Chain A
Amino acid sequence: MVTEVMREAAAPATSPDTTCAHCGLPVPAGLRDDSVVDQFCCSGCRTAYAILNEHGLGKYYSFPERREAPVASSGRSFEEFDHPAFAERYVREVRGGRSRIELYLEGVHCASCVWLVERVPLVITGVVRVELDVRRSLAVVEWNAADVPLSAIARGLDQLGYTPHPFRGVERDTMRRREDRAMLVRIGVAGAIAINVMLAALALYAGDANGMDPAFARFFRWVSFVLVIPAFVWPGRIFFIGALAALRTRSLHMDLPIAIALAAGFVSGAVNTIRDAGPVYFDGLSVLILLLLAGRFLQQRAQRMATDSAELRHAVAPLSARVVDGPVTRALPVEALVPGMVLDVRAGESFGADGVVGSGQSSVNVALLTGESRPVAIAEGASVFAGTLNVQAPVRVRVEECGESIRIARLLRAVEDSARRRAPVVLLADRMAGLFVAAVLVAAALTFVIKWRIAPAHALDDAIALLIVTCPCALALATPLAMTVAMGRAAGRGMLIKGGDALELLSSPGTLVLDKTGTITEGVTAVVSCEGPEWLRPMVLALEEGSSHPIADGFRRAWPGVQAMTASSVRHVSGAGIEGAVGGRRVRVGSPRFVAEWATRVSADARAAMHMNPTMTSVHIAVDGEVVAVAAIGDRIRDDARQSLDHLRSQGWRTVMLSGDAQDVVSAVAITLGFAPSDAVGGASPEEKLAFVERLKARRERVVMVGDGVNDAAAIAASHVGIGVHGGAEACLATADIYLTRPGLSPLVELTEGSRRTMRVIRRNIAFSLGYNVIGATLAVAGLLTPLVAAVLMPASSVTVVLASWLGGTFSRSRTA
């Protein structure tokens, strides 16, 4: 469906001669060259086309479905891929002296990508095998290290448009794969046994109805008994292990009642088989094991889907730094840095280690660490921290701390600690399980005692029948299934939920603590308003062209359609502004003081706009000595913030803004968004944020923390439910229970409402399964429960719950799926 749309958009059938020979997108007029047959939309596509044709891979162009995007190669040298420290961490040796690595590839879309990527061995000699997992964009590459360096392979993939990144989760991935395979084997074995035991049971029921030779009946009972033994000792064992663990830790777990029922059923069935009288429940038990395993598998997969997508996303984070080594600079993986090295950090790059600025002046965005939205100026001698972003100009940094001792790593350890301290949440179903076990055991004991007085012959049989029929199969499925369905649908709507407990906690109102920068606001410098004539815009853009300063970026984003003029004799003044000549006039853009040095007159419009919001940075624009426009630069509040917050408040949530930004900025935003003055806290360090959340928790409030940065990570881990927002930092995503892939605050509203609906479905499921159990228990106590009734009643309750979970409205279905 998606590819259909792409093809339509990318196929301008009216002018086929102007589409790119590689990607099929229209060729810009400036790049058209009528003297040759093949046209290209960019140099990346030209290179990729040449490589494919040179190696006889032209067949690629005959596929109806291709990647229809320009080849955006990063053009990096990837030299850090050859460093021993990199190899030690990511490369493994396999048989025959080959090396093997798993790479995450950007830009993998469809079948033709699989074809192309897996033919890389034809393009690069020395590469033995490439295998691509298209859903996860993970490629396994095997090569002979003696013939070709890894950096050359990386460059080759990059030139084809698949920029590679080392995949960090290899170990966890192998572990999970082993778990998945084991679970699949268990389900397969349980399924095969269940089907065959049911066949034997069918023969027994038919024999009951029509009369069967007792010898055959005995044979079928023995067959089902022998068959069911492996189902208990192999796939079914995990329930007994779980129950034992629950007993040992004295906690409530659904495995406990399940294990009791399974054990009661098995023992009484075995005794009845041997003494050749009384009911056997082997068919019901084997189906039960299968259903429970399948439910557990589905739940596990849904939870992983959420963690995986967040993990893959942050596998893209930069991992290398450029080290100055005499006259040259070399790229090294950050693991290989040692104190004393000098790093070259360009504008727009993040620092790879903690250090001190050796030379150069710039400004740094430290929002990741402190939440401060305004860039901080740095000069020689200033400290900079790993992970923060160099905004303005290139600097040289002398490494002081690296590896585990950098500030961000210390912060991450605090995050891990508080995540470990988090009290386990007892789920509704598990709370029910405790009551349930007690009630069933009491009922069974009462049945035995009372029946013993009335009809001693049936006392034991009826008590055991009660234990078996009340096996909480449906109850055990009720919560996980409803949550799995809800989590799957939420993922389709851009909300990745890592654990079901988050849904339960979000279903009733509590205290919602929100970070400001990047959560309530967009987290980037933007032109919020610009009062002045429109003819200025091409002139301002002309001056700012080529500048990577955040304000220049802000202007470019604010006026996307405006064509820049050309500027000459442009002069940057660090920390002040920029000036130059555009269209024969002198133009100055910058701080009020910088512009006032030169422009003495002020236009009426500009004067009116000068008194503005104190949270914004003013930028004045002057032409030929007169200030003609005033722009307000700042961090824009998200469009949906007010509406979403009001909605949450109307549901009973208390909203608190907790920011590392200055108190005056926080208070101003609080007024705009309707926060109570006491609920707008500024200047909070990461440690203070953590303490704030702990204080709320100490007052037994339910705390939901929403944030995006490393500075929020510890607080997110400590809160009851941590939510990481779109574009957040790695640490924050790793600890958050929920990660939003959609920008804005409206997903929060959807989350709380979806959780409420999910809990309603779960309660309904529990009511269903308890209803079935009451009926079953009544029949058992009355001595009316035949094995046939049990065999029908038990799966029927599970199927009801499955259907109710699937059909129950939780999150609205995804629009894209």
Chain B
Amino acid sequence: MSVIYLVLPLALVIVGAAVAAFIWSARSGQFDDLDTPAVRVVHDDKD
């Protein structure tokens, strides 16, 4: 059971990484416009 002392902090580090990634994506504006990217991808071509 004492493995919890190692695993739980490790899990929290991973959570911290996920939260950091979310903060980065929110601050770089990836949630500003939730409609256009969805329609943009429909007609995307390689030009």
Identify the A interface with B (CB < 8 A). Answer: 59, 63, 110-112, 114-115, 118-119, 122, 132-135, 177, 180-181, 184-185, 188-189, 192, 196, 213, 216, 219, 223, 227
How far, in angstroms, from A119 to B40 measured CA to CA in the complex? 12
Q: Does B18 make an interface contact (CB < 8 A)?
A: yes
Chain B 10-47, CB-CB to A under 8 Å as 1, else 0, gives 00100100110011001101011101100110110101
B4, B23, B40, B42: the one within 8 Å of A118 (CB): B40
- A sample of 16 more A-B contacts (CB under 8 A), given A114-B36, A133-B36, A188-B23, is A110-B39, A111-B39, A111-B40, A114-B43, A122-B47, A134-B39, A135-B36, A177-B29, A181-B31, A185-B22, A185-B26, A185-B27, A188-B19, A189-B23, A192-B18, A196-B12
Report whether A135 and B32 are in contact in the complex, using a CB–CB cutoff of 8 Å: no
Complex contacts, B22 vs chain A, CB 8 Å: 185, 188, 192
> Are B35 and A135 in touch, CB under 8 angstroms?
yes
Q: How far does the Cβ of A545 sit from chain B's closest Cβ, in whole Å?
A: 43
> When A181-B26, A196-B12, A216-B4 are in contact, do A134 and B36 touch as well, CB less than 8 Å?
yes
CB pair B39 A192 closer than 8 Å:
no
CA distance A227 to B47 in the complex (A): 48
Q: Which of chain A's residues has its CB closest to B11's CB? A: A196
* Contact (Cβ within 8 A) A180 B32: yes
- Quick check: A219 and B27 within 8 Å, CB to CB? no
B9 to nearest A CB, angstroms? 9
A114 and B39 contacting across the interface, CB-CB below 8 Å: yes
Contacts of B29 in A (CB 8 A): 177, 181
22 interchain pairs (CB within 8 A)? Answer: A59-B43, A63-B43, A111-B39, A112-B43, A114-B36, A114-B43, A115-B43, A119-B47, A132-B36, A133-B33, A135-B35, A135-B36, A177-B29, A180-B31, A181-B29, A184-B26, A185-B22, A188-B22, A188-B23, A196-B12, A216-B4, A223-B12
**Chain B nearest CB, measured from A599 CB (Å):** 62
A132 contacts across to B, CB distance below 8 A? 36
Chain B interface helix/strand/loop/mixed: helix
Which residue of chain A has its CB nearest to the CB of B44? A115
State the CA gap A184–B45 with chains docked (Å).
32
- State A388–B4 Cα separation when bound (angstroms): 76
Residues of A within 8 A of B42 (CB): 111
Which residues of B sit under 8 angstroms from A227, Cβ to Cβ? 12
Bound CA span A367–B8, Å: 71
CB distance from B6 to the nearest CB of A (A): 12
Query: Which residues of A have CB within 8 Å of B1?
Result: 213, 216
Which chain A residues border B33 with CB–CB below 8 Å?
133, 135
Give the distance to chain B from A214, nearest Cβ to Cβ, in Å: 13
Given A114-B40, A115-B43, A177-B32, A189:B26 Cβ within 8 A: no
Shortest C-beta distance, A123 to chain B (Å), equals: 13
Docked pose: A696 CA to B10 CA in angstroms: 67
Contact partners of A189 in chain B: CB under 8 A:
19, 23
- Residue picked from A111, A122, A223, most chain B C-beta under 10 Å: A111
For A63, what are the chain B residues with a Cβ–Cβ distance below 8 Å? 43
Contact B35 A219 (CB under 8 A): no
Find chain B residues with CB under 8 A from A134 CB.
35-36, 39
Identity of the chain B residue whose Cβ is nearest the Cβ of A110 in the assembled complex: B39
| A192 surroundings in chain B (CB, below 8 A) | 15, 18-19, 22
Chain B residues lying within 8 Å of A115, measured Cβ to Cβ, are 40, 43
Query: 4 closest A-B pairs (Cβ-Cβ)?
Result: A111-B39, A115-B43, A135-B35, A188-B22
Complex CA–CA separation, A115 to B4 (angstroms):
52
- How near does chain A come to B41, taking the closest CB pair, in angstroms? 9
What's the Cα separation between A49 and B29 when bound, in Å? Answer: 35
Question: In the assembled complex, how far is the CB of residue B26 from the closest CB belonging to chain A, in whole angstroms?
Answer: 5
Q: Residue of B at shortest CB range from A65? A: B42
Q: Is the CB of B31 within 8 A of A59?
A: no
CB pair B4 A219 closer than 8 Å: yes
Query: B18 contacts which chain A residues (CB < 8 A)?
Result: 192
In whole angstroms, what is the CA distance A561 to B24 when docked? 60
